[in-house]
Structure 1
Amino acid sequence: MRKKVAFYTLGCKLNFSETSTIARNFTDEGFDRVDFSESADIYVINTCSVTENADKRFKTIVKQAQKSNPDAFVAAVGCYAQLKPEELVAVDGVDLVLGATEKFKITDYINDLSKNEFGEIHSCEIEEADFYVGSYSIGDRTRAFLKVQDGCDYKCTYCTIPLARGISRSDTLENVLKNAKDISEQHIKEIVLTGVNIGDYGKGEFGNKKHEHTFYDLVQALDKVDGIERLRISSIEPNLLKNKTIDFVSNSRTFVPHFHIPLQSGSDEILRLMRRRYLSDVYVDRVSKIKDVMPHACIGVDVIVGFPGETDDHFLDTYNFLSGLDISYLHVFTYSERENTIASELAGVVPQHIRKKRSKMLRGLSVKKRRSFYESQIGTDRIVLFESENKEGYIHGFTENYVKVKMPWDPSYVNTLHKVRLSNIDDDGMVRFDFLDN
């Protein structure tokens, strides 16, 4: 009988793209992929270690796998597996932990899937993670996550990602275009570009530190690939988002008017403590430039609250800064101490209850910002891509500028694009619409 494998992915879009690639490797080896809630012979958990909560969730997920099949082989890969393999292998039921370079060769390590008396660790020194493995997600959604870059050479004081993923390196432009074409041939309508620091694309493309191509070159080339309906840029650093890229997107055939730009703090003093590579005036310039050429563009923002040394005044600087910006929503992260980071040794630790209070305030601001952005879009004509999930009798979709819409469930609309006119905002904050192409 064919063996069954199930996957659980924690964390970012990049992890989802890599899980899909690892899953295809299993399929090529004769495994059948099943849902994580089903009984499987092997469970693979792709871990994240950006926040403390992601670490804590790992034990719960292992228990979930054991409940489905107590005799199953359990393997852990990903960032947490690279940073703290001993912690993962000590969790009851875990048989195998693979680091940053080993995870793409997982089928070489699993043998006959017999449970190990003691879990095994195969983890490289992070300096050895200097080669690139291309990945993309497919088959799970109406959109695909296409990995174009990995690793990071930035040294932000709170971040463990360089320790977990290594130096900045890129896929070759030729391979990115090949993967994009492969995705388009699967009738997937939207591709989201992902990586650790995608604005750094081109560095390490052929194994050296120089840029053979730039992110702007990548955007231009992808726009010419036949069969792609939509391309979406995921998180990109403000100092790496250039005017020519913004101008190109504004006139692009496929790139949509949606940007997600990390800020982290609206206080220049805190940005310096974080060792970010820009100050607040650069961020204002990026937002202004986008809105100047694409007034309807959606702009998302990452922000961290409770960083060491963040006083009430610093937080109010951030709150007022964001309140005055023409942005659309926030992703709010409560600072959590990470081992082997400079920030964990800084003075001025912010008490947990204050961190939670500040986080709640910014999440409230995010609700207001999203509502205001949605209201500004009422009466406009947009193109909606409908999702594949039935959520309590409704089908949801997103416009090109990331307005979330809904209507009663109709499976015939899954993975289809339709021109609509946005009409009103529902009680749950989503937008109703009228079809224009029926």
Structure 2
Amino acid sequence: MDIYTKGWPRLESLNVSQSSVTNVSLIRIAMHCRQLQCLSVAGHDTSSAVLSVTDASIAVVGARCLELRCLIVRGCEQVTDGSIAVVASNCSLLKHLDISDCQGVTDSSLQQVAERCPHLQCLIADFVQSIGDASISRIARYCRELRTLSLSNCRISDASLHMVARKCQNLRSLILTACVGTGDSTVTNITLKALAAHCSQLQRLDIQGIEPGVGDVGLLAVAGHCPKLRHVEIDQSDVSDATVVMLAACCPSLEHLVCGCGGVTDVSLGVLIERCTALRLLDLHSECKPPITDDLITTLVQKCPHMEYLHFYDGCSLTDGSIEALARHCRGLEVLRVDHCTLLTDCALESLRNLARSLRELRLGTCSEISETGLDIFRNTRTEVHIEKSPCYGAWDFRHRIIS
């Protein structure tokens, strides 16, 4: 590594994620590449980057690379307040910080980031339960340019998020999946109403796994005042057709909807499909009453031909005709998941032959009329196929044949 870094003194961006990089290598990079602006050493739980990168090297990067604008240390569990504080002290141009899964990072260093990095535009701190409202409130106060905030599985509540909405009015993306709150305080409709009042540029909102306190009241406000929404993920029991209809009426650019709300029916879904023709992903992972029908699929393929990902939890009323229509009109479909599809037969698989080049994943549940012979259609294709016939018969996976 030393040979290369000496030859790259003007290196500005380096991605060594999921590699065998060590502290020694990163220190050499920091010593020789002082113009470095972006460094990514993210990794998965088993990657060497996660195991080898510690405060020792990240602190040197922070001390030497004063033009650093982007630091991604996602999954580096040995990165703590010590090195993040050094980065905050020296890298005032920092715009992007990803500390997801870095459990050693707390409110202490994140408050320093807020105070000394006023140009911060993106903060990703998923699964860091050692940070809370104290640091996020400070981020809101000092980092007015913030556009992306991702705090999945963090202990955050209305106390700080309400301030984020008021102070960071250029916010584009807010991801709060499974936020558990702090003490008696949680994320509620108060935050959503604040977003509606102040963040008209919002494009992405993910609030799956947050209940109670979130429902139609807050989401109707967001949908009605954030017309640029493109990506929405919700699963609250207190969400009904009213929210989906409002999204359809006010957010014509919607491309991505994940909806696990039991109160949503095919009535509002029909309106959504008619109005939001840019839809590319539709994930309905809860029971729909009444179930999804062939008529709804017919409308979908006519209005949303660019669909790439479809998941219907309740497909008990769908016939082979629906699958044939999808194969004929949605030629870019990459993922198709249909649960409880008891009426589908081998003819449905045959119709999907035309999608062999694009379809990456096919997952059908409780489809007793599909045979193993029908799966031969996907032999030597890129499609990963998982077929569950019934709980008693087990499941078929084309790559492994019978898996249970």
TM-score between both structures, scaled by the size of structure 1: 0.33
| Structure having the higher Rg | 2
Structure number with greater CO (CA < 8 Å, separation at least 6) is 1
- Structure with the higher fraction of residues in strand conformation: 1
